[in-house]
Structure 1
Amino acid sequence: MAAPADPGPDPEPAVRHRHAELAAGITENNYRYYVLDSPLVSDAEYDTMMRELRALEEQYPQLRTPDSPTQKVGSVISTDFAPVQHLERLLSLDNAFSAEELDSWAARAERLGGSGPYLCELKIDGLAIALVYRDGLLVRAATRGDGVTGEDVTPNVRTIAAVPARLSGSGWPDTLEVRGEVFLPVAAFHALNERLESAGWPPFANPRNSAAGSLRQKDPRVTATRPLSLIVHGLAVPGEDTGGSGMPVPGAAGAPPAAPATQSGWYGRLREWGLPVSDRYQVVDDLDAVRDFITHYGEHRHDPAYEIDGVVVKIDTLEVQRALGATSRAPRWAIAYKYPPEEVTTRLLDIRVNVGRTGRVTPFAVMEPVKVSGSTVENATLHNADEVRRKGVLIGDMVVLRKAGDVIPEVVGPVTDLRTGAEREFDFPAACPACGTELVREDGGIDWRCPNTRSCPAQLRERLFHLAGRGALDIEVLGYEAAVALLDSGLVQDEGDIFALTAAALAGSPFFVSKQGTLTANAGKLLRNLEEARTRPLWRILVALSIR
């Protein structure tokens, strides 16, 4: 009988603490990213945390447990939509961030018997989706969720023009599950944000968030107003593990007659069935050609109509895919090469501060508008006073700007060689810019805060807007402009006052009165929303209270 494997050295308490801290942070960020559509950290920061966690578990295997984030795929399940089980598990992809890591993946695959030809395709920054067809008819659409169970979003997906309600042609299996990526084209993303801002609602941070938010609308009619699209890249049939291969292997249970023997061959078959397949993939013979494909789209990443954040490389032959198999979370026959965040240079015109709902005063950079990662940026957070000093930026500097994780604008630092001597330091305010109260800083803290939680207009405005959010009391009509109007008209002094609003009170605010002098439709809708909000569950009330 073989001796048990050596578990390795016992980790120190500090190592266990760091492992627990990383696991908790990644789990929370998974929830914020996949369920709330509101990530707390950039993709780059998330990837750094995950890589550190994996390194600890490699060094100390006893820390690796089934509930570790390294052993799971994607997100937890939101309670907003019914949970449904996928026909076969949906896996994630391992990432490569450099040419060396790509080479290491290819070398590992080759040691296991896998090599080219390789299929290269663009990694769309969208939302993973699984479509179930029975007898050629679309019967269900679900998000990826945890890879085994997802959210049923069928009514919303049916509004997407690119998704066929009935498959074309013939020869499809009786039951099949198509995997793909839902996305919002970049042009449509900008148009949607313009509409949201004009209505007083906050814009989406990026096209991926907008696609996720659009797909998870309660009312499919709202989803239908947003031109979502889809590109498919995988297919599963009952009994065929997609970790073993990305498409059904010829002769497999459930595979159609004369099934293609390659991933790329299946793309042609899917297109015959009326499913949307990318026209930007390429099959190449060796790694040099893979690198050329990656380099080309690194230089032309804004050519496609949708946002991309890398290239997915797959071994094209399905029998080789099946031979390589998968780990608990990702196939060994594919990898996602992630592009670094784009960086540009622009001038820092000013540094200003805003006051958040908990009184936190945050400096932000105002810059000459510049295009980065496909969108125009003119503001970027500077986090806190210490961060401004650490970065060493001066008002008037030329600064390096990047989108961390291709999402959040971030000032990297100044280009000191371009200084003229006219630059000046930023003086952090001593008093709240909204109410004039002297700012305070907790012992050992990094943030300055306005302690006037009761009557600071900026805090109250932000708390009202937060309270109305979909993750809190879900008061649809109470957008940013409506919150400001209620405050300006004196109808609201604190959050509790909104539940005392009446039609007569709203008549005193010009925002809720039409040109004819009658209440607007939104005024009536706000009162109905408030009545519904009285019955929200306790957890929503706790979220709405903005408790620090």
Structure 2
Amino acid sequence: MTIEAQIQQLRDELNNYNYKYYVLDQSEISDFEFDMKLKSLQDLEAKHPEFYDENSPTNRVGGTITKNFNTVVHDYRMYSLDNSYSKDDLLAWEQRVKKMVDGDVFYTCELKYDGASISLTYENGVLTKAVTRGDGVQGDEVTANIKTIKSVPLKLKGDYPEKFDIRGEIVLPFDGFNKMNEDRIEIGEEPYRNPRNTASGSLKLQDSSEVAKRPLECLLYTIIGRNLNIQSQIEGLQKARDWGFKVPSAAKLVHSIDEVFEFIEYWDVHRHDLPYETDGVVIKVNSFQHQDELGYTAKAPRWAMAYKFKAEQVSTRLNEITYQVGRTGAITPVANLEPVELAGTTVKRASLHNADQIAKLDIREGDEVFVEKGGEIIPKIIAVDLTQRPADSQPTIYITHCPECHTELVRQEGEAQHYCPNYNGCKPQIIGRIQHFISRKAMDIDGLGGETVALLVNEDLIHNYSDLYELTKDDVLPLERMAEKSADNLINGIELSKQVPFERVLYALGIRYVGETVAKKLVKHFKYIDAIAEATEETLVNVDEIGVKIAKSVVAFFQSDENKIIIDRLKAFGVSLEISVEALANQSDELAGKVFVVSGVFTTVSRDELKKMIEDNGGKVGSSISSKTSFVVAGDKMGPSKRAKAEKLGIEILSENDFLQLLNV
């Protein structure tokens, strides 16, 4: 046997042992025998570097040093999931689903593991890229670290697509976590707080050999890509198992919402027997065709819902109530607590939301309070233990003036929160607005973070976000922890942000109630910042999905003299404040006033492309057929009840080709 053949045989054997042990939980040889084979392979590879393979099992031990993790845009966005906390929530979701799709709806139920989300890319059966979730649009590439996790296949088996992404959770089993903490305590180190945070932190370690020492696992749950030849979620999970991925066996196909409830009730009890942390159940519409029909909101898929198990509660002392000022001037009261362990973390603070919540629960300093950490990241106080209230306790009097600039607070009719109206003079508001401006979903200025923004404001180098474009390298070099290269990156990042498209710039301005979706609607309708600035409330509310509250906020923003000056400065600096020529060329009003419902499977263009064409040409995409529907665009496998409803209402049904001809495509 040739040396190359010996090397390949050892690689194949070790990969197979790894798969059986870490994915199938089957041990075929002893640890000693495995280590001896691995040592033989390492020796052969060292003597014959011409046969190097980056996916050799010897690379599982790590050794790559990554000082800076590259930011990578996901090929397919990683959405969040909508959460539910009761059966009523799930029943309401089921009703929404059944209104939008035809035929029987089945569901895949999966456990929601509490780990660090990851997206793995495979090309021709080989792992090429691993990226953290980040903000869902882009994340950090951590490929070298992920390759050290034994349950992540470096090469796939069987009949797999040419290219696809697979998403999952990096978790740290309880046994491994406890062993890590035993070792740390033995050498006098502080123990890690909880498995989830430890797993997440492991992905960003600079030395991959340190990651290799941690007993991390990767549990996969979603395949994404083109031409996958997979028809459903449950089929996709089985395909992933066949290709060599570790897919939890708890996943189950059910045929009704009652069976969903049975799954939830079973695992609400038996989750405590699992080797990993889990905090709920994810319910997905099983059919991929149905998933396509349901689509996404701005933040989450309509075809999935996360049911959260009942939150853990503890009691502790509320030592003090303090107040924070947000970028919009909103005041948030915060409970400063006697530190207490809750759901694996030490809790020291909890949100009190607003004055009404404090009054409703009669929360006072010195109270023994019950704290809950459920679906929310920030713990909240849910009740007061009145039996332990001190005799000299005094009711909480909500503050009347801003804790930062001492301006008298205002509270508009119908609003839950108090606000500081000192828009241009309250430092936390200024810092918060600039931090929002530079954030990833807004201007995404590389090299500039929230702490640096605070430094720039506190040093009087900037007073609003337009001042960023006047900064020089000499201005920022004296800042704390600012090296020459960091200063170059910051100035270059600011310059590159001038290329950010108009809809993201409008979102970055921080107009109250104008999120990503509203910004896109306004840009599509008005196309230029001046047109938005000159719009009246009446004009604005005529724009799709723009209500009176948003309209009032937009008008107020552009009536401000300070904001007018800032906008003029941004124009002068070359920031994009109008729709691009390319985007404009793809838009028309040809379908204005028309409502389309898209149903079925399409071949020439994808469903998302078809919807974008409708919107780019002035039309509106409806979620279900009604008397307001102008056309139904029907692909293959359109549900019979949808077709019958369209025919009953006299709505014209267009084929895919009919629609493309309508637009002369």
Provide the identity percentage: 27
Choose which of 441, 466, 474 in structure 2 pairs with 1:496: 466
Query: In the alignment, which residue of structure 1 is the partner of 2:490?
Result: 526
CA distance in 2, matches of 1:128, 1:47: 29
Query: In the alignment, which residue of structure 1 is the partner of 2:372?
Result: 402
CA distance in 1, matches of 2:458, 2:288: 59
Displacement of 1:420 in angstroms is 2.7
Tell me whether 1:54 sits opposite 2:78 in the alignment: no
Query: In the alignment, which residue of structure 2 is the partner of 1:241?
Result: 231
Q: Note if contact 2:83-2:308 (Cα within 8 Å) is conserved in structure 1.
A: no
Q: In structure 2, give the amino acid aligned to 1:415.
A: D
Q: Superposition RMSD on alpha carbons, in Å?
A: 5.3
After superposition, give the CA deviation of every residue in 1:251-293 in whole Å (9 maximum; x if it has no partner).
xxxx8xxxxxxxxxx96x66xx4x4456x9699xxx9999776
After superposition, give the CA deviation of every residue in 1:64-99 in whole Å (9 maximum; x if it has no partner).
1359xx99xxxxxxxxxxxxxxxxxxx97458xxxx
Displacement of 1:479 in angstroms is 2.1
Q: In structure 2, give the amino acid aligned to 1:526.
A: L
Query: In the alignment, which residue of structure 2 is the partner of 1:475?
Result: 445
More helix by share: 2
Structure 2 runs not aligned, ≥5 long: 1-75, 178-194, 253-260, 293-303, 513-665
Q: In structure 1, give the amino acid aligned to 2:220.
A: V
SS of 1:358's equivalent?
A: coil
Tell me whether 1:65 sits opposite 2:97 in the alignment: no
Tell me whether 1:297 sits opposite 2:291 in the alignment: no
CA distance in 1, matches of 2:291, 2:83: 18
Displacement of 1:294 in angstroms is 4.6
CA distance in 2, matches of 1:342, 1:224: 36
Change in Cα spacing, 1:361 to 1:425, as seen in structure 2 (3 Å) is same
CA distance in 2, matches of 1:142, 1:281: 26
Change in Cα spacing, 1:155 to 1:363, as seen in structure 2 (3 Å) is closer
Aligned pairs (5 A) from 1:430-509? 430-507=400-477, 509=478
Displacement of 1:389 in angstroms is 0.9
Q: In structure 1, give the amino acid aligned to 2:159.
A: P
CA distance in 1, matches of 2:353, 2:118: 31
Aligned pairs (5 A) from 1:15-54? 43-44=83-84, 51-54=91-94
Choose which of 148, 151, 173 in structure 1 pairs with 2:159: 173
Q: In structure 1, give the amino acid aligned to 2:94.
A: R
Displacement of 1:164 in angstroms is 2.6
Change in Cα spacing, 1:154 to 1:398, as seen in structure 2 (3 Å) is closer
After superposition, give the CA deviation of every residue in 1:364-413 in whole Å (9 maximum; x if it has no partner).
11111222222222112111111111122111111111113163312111
Q: In structure 1, give the amino acid aligned to 2:271.
A: Y
CA distance in 2, matches of 1:341, 1:510: 43
SS of 2:398's equivalent?
A: coil
Query: In the alignment, which residue of structure 1 is the partner of 2:126?
Result: 137
After superposition, give the CA deviation of every residue in 1:286-341 in whole Å (9 maximum; x if it has no partner).
x999977652434x67x63xx42136899xxxxxxxxx9899359xxx99875211
Q: Note if contact 2:364-2:395 (Cα within 8 Å) is conserved in structure 1.
A: yes
Displacement of 1:456 in angstroms is 0.8
Change in Cα spacing, 1:356 to 1:505, as seen in structure 2 (3 Å) is same
Choose which of 220, 227, 230 in structure 1 pairs with 2:218: 230
Displacement of 1:521 in angstroms is 3.1
Choose which of 356, 360, 365 in structure 2 pairs with 1:386: 356
Bigger relative CO (Cα 8 Å, ≥ 6 apart): 1
Tell me whether 1:183 sits opposite 2:159 in the alignment: no
Q: Note if contact 2:308-2:374 (Cα within 8 Å) is conserved in structure 1.
A: no
CA distance in 1, matches of 2:333, 2:479: 33
Query: In the alignment, which residue of structure 2 is the partner of 1:538?
Result: 502
Displacement of 1:520 in angstroms is 4.0
Query: In the alignment, which residue of structure 2 is the partner of 1:74?
Result: none
Q: Note if contact 2:456-2:462 (Cα within 8 Å) is conserved in structure 1.
A: yes
CA distance in 1, matches of 2:435, 2:208: 23
Structure 1 runs not aligned, ≥5 long: 1-33, 72-90, 96-120, 145-149, 190-205, 249-254, 256-265, 315-323, 514-518
CA distance in 1, matches of 2:264, 2:465: 57
TM-score (normalizing by structure 1): 0.56
Choose which of 414, 419, 431 in structure 1 pairs with 2:384: 414
Displacement of 1:460 in angstroms is 0.7
Q: Note if contact 2:120-2:127 (Cα within 8 Å) is conserved in structure 1.
A: no
Tell me whether 1:511 sits opposite 2:496 in the alignment: no
Displacement of 1:503 in angstroms is 2.5
SS of 2:390's equivalent?
A: coil
Q: Note if contact 1:396-1:424 (Cα within 8 Å) is conserved in structure 2.
A: no
SS of 1:450's equivalent?
A: coil
Change in Cα spacing, 1:294 to 1:473, as seen in structure 2 (3 Å) is same
CA distance in 2, matches of 1:529, 1:225: 32
Displacement of 1:500 in angstroms is 1.2
Query: In the alignment, which residue of structure 1 is the partner of 2:153?
Result: 164
Displacement of 1:490 in angstroms is 1.4
SS of 1:396's equivalent?
A: coil
Q: Note if contact 2:107-2:283 (Cα within 8 Å) is conserved in structure 1.
A: no
Q: In structure 2, give the amino acid aligned to 1:65.
A: M
CA distance in 2, matches of 1:485, 1:175: 49
Displacement of 1:440 in angstroms is 0.9
Displacement of 1:462 in angstroms is 1.1
CA distance in 2, matches of 1:152, 1:432: 36
